[in-house]
Structure 1
């Protein structure tokens, strides 16, 4: 039988308090929420986005947890629908009591649930691109790892010019980033002596042939698609049937595997895509490859891997598991001067000396309104029914 004296009690307590947070998990679980598009037009991305976060949480729990507690990950489906996302977010916040919601994808979804998050002091990590998101009065409760649409469109517009565009066109549905995309492309075209036309169409139509005929009257030599996978599938078919012989570029989240599976190879021949690129040479990227069991990690899964690590390390740095604590400590652990780490387990062990988290999506440095300050971009081209890397910038 062990007899505890005051001296042995104090010594034991001191040893426990001095031990890393990951070895002291004892209390009620911390709840973190994933809210990804498991169905709907974003459904091809959501499962791996969720699984990347689950892999992070599993590793931390196996190592002992954080702040004396295990983490329970609660996953919900946005259905790529603002209405469904609001219902799911209310459940995560009001019923499950999550400290953070991670992984929202479509800009309309993130915009819809953002007020619920900042009003409840729940941290929101998103991969949505609309500039308006971080312009909301979110009080610091939004962090975006996806480059905003202004940065994305500027990079793509420069690519179009570099590829010889003299007559540019943008065609897409009304989205939170449609107006800014058109404005930026007009600016780029004007600065480079190119013309620019645009057309906003009604979403969810079975054909866009009349809209295609209208935009082709301007004789564009390079067209940018501004929609999602479902309408871009119809649009690409109609552009091909109209006999267009110029160049086309679309965001990779729209010109994705679902779209490619739905169209003949000849319709897609020569189409470009672009997206923010993961840090493919990083050790963090290798970790996500292992978690997902894939060679190529999509940008959104790389980002959500970072979401989970950032949330966990921020809580540990603050010594508190609330959303407010995550907000307050995010930049302390993501852009500090301490040891560079690429995962929460190593970060928790090194936290006392200060850390600088850099993840699978790159350096996770945020500006004052929560936007990521920089990332890589990758351009791909479809040839023979397959997508290959064309350029990295």
Structure 2
């Protein structure tokens, strides 16, 4: 378990801050025990390359809020558990955060399988769950409004990928996917989108993620005479697949999600294997003040889309509680849209948001990941996507659209 707290200076600022004890609607939000939020990122496992930065982004927002006086005079505390990119570990972590730490919201789940397993615990306990998982099935669960997804759902992601591939001349696409809730829904969308654009899915294989060799799968790909392969997996298995496809002489287009091929891929494979690999991902709002500040605080560490999104998870939860004058899970749920969409004053950080709310002004928070506006089921309404190509040990941006 990883527990984080702010330093003595932030605690003093929180207890003596200018925002302490202000009223909303004539009722003061009394000072008291810290408001506790739970973080459940993948600090290890397939999502391990992303989890630490996701957690760091959450903590930095919490530090900013505490320096500004906290939530109505109450300091904010973050308790983190490692979901290990594993549903069982995720459930254990969520139970501890909900039952022992009594969190008001839970944020930062990454793998769709983990989010699917954890979600019932959240809605049953009236705890909002902020997630970066993409499987369509997640927001189709009977979550009663307690799920907010900042990651585009799988339909939007796959439709975007297919549209882009078709525009680049892809017509025969083989879909190789790791076993996950994301896989089958991705296949259904791919078949429809490619067919509508004059292309076709030439093969579809779902494999177990812990495989160490893919000889039969690669043989089938080679027989399919595909011009493109969609690698719908995770970093460890996609690394193995890239090596085996190179050895087999596959000379078509290789396309994957950016979380499945990053700088670690270049450390594991020679450039001749990775050259030409195309990745895509939701793009943070790189021109926003929120993103630029987060980038400055991260220093030499990349602000990936998941870190930008968890930054926004923390800000949404804090500002929703402040707007409600209530740190309970249901109050947070009911105020997320109130502070993130509408005609309020545009703010891109918790400090300005808390000050505006203290003055009785409505706000419209826009974060590092972009405008955080949610559809009725909790899906993000839209975002930009970033396409990059691997060239000699680094990624070059092809397009942001």
TM-score (normalised: structure 1):
0.93
Moved more, 262-271 or 187-196: 187-196
Change (3 A) 1:168 1:228: same
Secondary structure (helix, strand or coil) at the match of 1:28 reads coil
Contact residue 104 and residue 126 of structure 1 kept, 8 A: yes
Aligned counterpart in structure 2 of residue 374 of structure 1, from 356, 363, 382: 382
Change (3 A) 1:215 1:355: same
Aligned counterpart in structure 2 of residue 384 of structure 1, from 372, 389, 392: 392
Deviations 1:290-323 (Å, cap 9, x if unpaired)? 2322474100000000000000000011110011
Change (3 A) 1:73 1:245: same
Deviation, 1:24, is 8.5
Deviation, 1:258, is 2.7
Residues 1:310 and 2:316 aligned together: yes
Deviation, 1:216, is 1.9
Secondary structure (helix, strand or coil) at the match of 2:56 reads helix
Residues 1:124 and 2:124 aligned together: no
Deviations 1:44-95 (Å, cap 9, x if unpaired)? 1011110111011001111111122101111111111111111111110000
Match of 2:11 in 1: none
Q: How many residues align?
A: 378
Match of 2:4 in 1: none
Aligned counterpart in structure 1 of residue 187 of structure 2, from 171, 182, 186: 182
CA distance in 1 between partners of 2:290 and 2:29 (Å): 25
Contact residue 333 and residue 355 of structure 1 kept, 8 A: yes
Match of 1:42 in 2: 47
Change (3 A) 1:39 1:162: same
Aligned counterpart in structure 2 of residue 258 of structure 1, from 255, 260, 264: 264
Secondary structure (helix, strand or coil) at the match of 1:69 reads coil
Match of 1:4 in 2: none
Secondary structure (helix, strand or coil) at the match of 1:234 reads helix
CA distance in 2 between partners of 1:18 and 1:110 (Å): 36
Deviation, 1:19, is 9.6
Residues 1:74 and 2:79 aligned together: yes
CA distance in 2 between partners of 1:88 and 1:125 (Å): 15
Residues 1:97 and 2:102 aligned together: yes
How do 1:329-344 residues align onto structure 2 when only pairs under 5 Å count? 329-344=335-350
Contact residue 209 and residue 239 of structure 1 kept, 8 A: no
CA distance in 1 between partners of 2:92 and 2:263 (Å): 28
Contact residue 87 and residue 113 of structure 2 kept, 8 A: yes
Secondary structure (helix, strand or coil) at the match of 1:388 reads strand
Match of 1:210 in 2: 216
CA distance in 2 between partners of 1:16 and 1:249 (Å): 53
How do 1:161-172 residues align onto structure 2 when only pairs under 5 Å count? 161-172=166-177
Secondary structure (helix, strand or coil) at the match of 1:52 reads helix
Secondary structure (helix, strand or coil) at the match of 1:249 reads strand
CA distance in 1 between partners of 2:207 and 2:312 (Å): 35
Change (3 A) 1:319 1:211: same
Aligned counterpart in structure 1 of residue 332 of structure 2, from 326, 331, 334: 326
Contact residue 333 and residue 356 of structure 1 kept, 8 A: yes
Contact residue 25 and residue 66 of structure 1 kept, 8 A: no
Secondary structure (helix, strand or coil) at the match of 2:326 reads coil
CA distance in 2 between partners of 1:111 and 1:234 (Å): 27
CA distance in 1 between partners of 2:389 and 2:113 (Å): 28
CA distance in 1 between partners of 2:21 and 2:218 (Å): 68
CA distance in 1 between partners of 2:31 and 2:194 (Å): 60
Match of 1:12 in 2: none
Residues 1:354 and 2:359 aligned together: no
CA distance in 2 between partners of 1:234 and 1:46 (Å): 22
Backbone CA RMSD of aligned residues:
1.8
Residues 1:297 and 2:300 aligned together: no
Secondary structure (helix, strand or coil) at the match of 2:249 reads coil
Structure of larger gyration radius: 1
